[in-house]
Amino acid sequence: MAKPAIAIETQAHARAANPVLQFCRAAFERLTQPALWKRRRELRVCETLSLGNRNFVAVVGYQDQRFLIAGTANSISLLADVTREHAVDDELDQGNLPAA
């Protein structure tokens, strides 16, 4: 036997009016959104060049910045901030700056 439509509407209204259920439903919807649990990585290794014997040179990016670093078996050193050079290369690639 089918339930009357009024009873179904009353149950749905009771669930919607319960603040605990509203909170749980909202929390579930927010937690299941990929943007909240899968954030974009901001630190990345853009390029590396091995120099042999556990030595390397790398370009590391963080947000919109880029850094040239060198590493040995015992240390890592910042060689240069290459953010500006990277921005100029992007402009040249897009055709926004004349080539020198």
Q: Whole-angstrom Cα distance, residue 58 to residue 18?
A: 56
pTM here is 0.49
Q: pLDDT by residue for the chain (100 residues), tens digit each?
A: 555 555 555 555 555 567 777 777 777 777 776 665 566 778 999 999 999 999 999 999 998 899 999 999 999 999 999 988 765 555 556 665 555 5
* CB of 61 closer than 8 Å to CB of 69: no
